[in-house]
């Protein structure tokens, strides 16, 4: 079975997440024993040759923090013409997604159980991502924790270097103060163009992004969701 702790790098002093304790189901544990070799990727292996890994050259979509994997699974299943890579630190969610992917016979999905910064820096080539997805990251509500928010100037620079020209960084949140924070950071980041032309800098939800069950519940309660799409222009 994959080592759940050592597989997630601890090299950074400030993390944008807390590794949640989660109870593994038998099926999730079995996924790591039986299908990790099929879907799992190791940060320690270094730069990923995407064409060799997937067996074809296709648009590359990467999602950071996919949780239990529902939306990523849905997109990979409905878009077999794209290659998908998920990055997550919550091992039960990784196990669940691998089980679903195997049952569905998906061949266009791979997964890192690792920190997103480590993966982008060490495993993903310059100018290779067509779309980077960051959906509902931890907003770190308290002011003293704002430094732990993933979307910061340095992270935006890292993202731009990995996107191809014209590639899109797609963020979504249901916490308006974090939406405002992300919008501010991205507006000040060089080399990006906001894809929105209305709604105060926010975009309408693209059809390719599924509604999560939590988002649907929030909509029923009258809560909002903010999508931000920024395209690499230089």
Active site residues: 138
Q: How many CA atoms lie within 13 A of 208 on its CB side?
A: 16
- The DSSP annotation for 6-45 comes to TTS----SS-S------PPPHHHHHHHHHTHHHHEE-GGG
What is the token pair recorded at 176?
A: 């308006």
Q: Is 112 left (phi over 0), alpha (psi -120 to 50) or beta?
A: beta
Q: How far apart are CA 121 and CA 83, in angstroms?
A: 19
């Amino acid at each position: 079975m994959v080592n759940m702790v050592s597989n997630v790098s601890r090299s950074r002093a400030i993390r944008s997440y807390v590794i949640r304790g989660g109870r593994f189901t038998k099926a999730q544990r079995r996924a790591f024993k039986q299908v990790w070799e099929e879907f799992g990727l190791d940060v320690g292996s270094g730069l990923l040759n995407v064409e060799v890994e997937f067996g074809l050259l296709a648009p590359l979509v990467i999602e950071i923090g996919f949780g239990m994997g529902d939306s990523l699974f849905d997109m990979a299943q409905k878009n077999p013409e794209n290659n998908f890579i998920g990055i997550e630190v919550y091992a039960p969610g990784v196990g669940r997604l691998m089980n679903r992917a195997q049952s569905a016979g998906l061949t266009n999905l791979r997964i890192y159980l690792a920190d997103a910064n480590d993966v982008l820096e060490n495993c993903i080539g310059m100018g290779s991502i067509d779309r980077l997805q960051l959906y509902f990251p931890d907003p770190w509500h308290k002011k003293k924790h704002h430094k732990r928010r993933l979307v910061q100037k340095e992270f935006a620079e890292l993202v731009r270097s990995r996107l191809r020209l014209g590639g899109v960084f797609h963020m979504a949140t249901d916490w308006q103060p974090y939406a405002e924070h992300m919008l501010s950071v991205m507006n000040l980041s060089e080399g990006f163009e906001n894809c929105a032309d209305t709604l105060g800098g926010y975009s309408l939800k693209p059809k390719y992004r599924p509604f999560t069950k939590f988002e649907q519940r929030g909509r029923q309660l009258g809560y909002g969701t903010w999508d931000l799409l920024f395209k690499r222009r230089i």
